[in-house]
Structure 1
Amino acid sequence: MTAEQLRSQIAALAQQIAGKPLDSRLADWLNTEHGPLSDSFRQLQATCEAGVHDGWLCNREGGGIRYGRIFKPADDLQGFSVDVVDMESIAGPQHVHPGGEIDLVMPLSDGAQFDGHGAGWVVYGPGSQHAPTVTGGRALVLYLLPAGQIQFL
């Protein structure tokens, strides 16, 4: 598995969601079309797990969280940046999503949740904020940020 494979997977997904409002309807659609039982979810998770294992994903560490921005916003990604974090029973820093945020939650431990959600997609609308929190074990979370925008508080 390579970073190029991950980029290709994300580009295909981004093309499907381009221009859609970041809201609960998008979360429902993502979980229906690309949820935990889908091939696309399994492929994304396998690529992310391989990337962490091989060291090209989550290659930075701060405050007990491994993280990394793997792709800056780009046309082939429909203007999204792509970050992946590796968290285990920890809360991250409070931040605001000026354009919203789309998260793919990939539990690595049985019962691990991100902000109270198990495996699947979580969508935060423009202007939302949170302190991203993983409970119940370890999870990878892939973030799509419109124009790469995030403001830490």
Structure 2
Amino acid sequence: MSPSALHPNHQKLIDRAKEFIAEIEGETPGNELEARLNSQFGPGTPYYDDFSSLIKQGLANNEGWVSKEGVDGANFRLCDISPPSEDTKFFSILTVYLENDGYEHIAHVHPYGELNCVIQLDPTAEMKGVNGWQGAGWTSPYPGSHHAPSVRGGGLVALVFLPAGRLAFKELKDPRDF
């Protein structure tokens, strides 16, 4: 395999993500889109199940492309799956592995919003979204929203879609800010 070649499952995820993005590309992240994502693209639907299967295979087979780079030890890892490009309608795509809580120091702002496909590795794992805790399914923080990643109940992978690849980190002055 050449240095620039992607693992076949990595490429399959990118290809499937491009199809998904074409379905939602004109919509703005927020409550309305989150409800649509959970009803039309949640667990038991072809997109969600494909995303979940490919990511779990990548982890189980140690394929080296899912959340491989440590950000804060073994419990917080990420991987850039695809940069923003014309092919992805200028969304960047990444995977973030989270287990346990305590990432207040990694607070960030979503200038154009964010879409998170929550893939549970532990059946009780949940990610905190702007509308509360979410197990298997989606969160969709609106443009200008901000948070520090929060999980409970075990490990999960968030398949993250960022419009224009925009994410801004900010220093947390007071934990109540989020």
TM-score category (smaller protein): over 0.9
**2:82 corresponds to 1:71:** yes
| 2:29 aligned partner | 22
| 2:58 aligned partner | 51
Alignment of 1:81-100 (within 5 A): 81-92=92-103, 93-100=106-113
Tell me the TM-score normalised to structure 2 length: 0.82
| 1:152 aligned partner | 169
- The 3-state SS of whatever aligns with 1:105 is strand
Separation of aligned partners in 1, 2:102 and 2:85: 29
Letter in 2 for 1:109: D
Q: Which has the larger radius of gyration?
A: 2
Unaligned runs of 5+ in 2: 1-7, 171-178
Residue deviations 1:12-54 (CA, integer Å, cap 9, x gap):
0000111112121111111111111212211101111222331
Letter in 2 for 1:51: G
| 1:137 aligned partner | 154
- The 3-state SS of whatever aligns with 1:140 is strand
- The 3-state SS of whatever aligns with 1:45 is helix
Separation of aligned partners in 2, 1:2 and 1:29: 27
**2:54 corresponds to 1:38:** no
Q: CA RMSD in A?
A: 1.2
Unaligned runs of 5+ in 1: none
Letter in 1 for 2:112: G
Tell me the TM-score normalised to structure 1 length: 0.95
Separation of aligned partners in 2, 1:3 and 1:75: 18
Q: Tell me which of 11, 17, 25 is aligned to 2:18.
A: 11
- The 3-state SS of whatever aligns with 2:140 is strand
Residue deviations 1:61-113 (CA, integer Å, cap 9, x gap):
02131111111001121110001011111243100001100000011102100
Letter in 2 for 1:50: Q
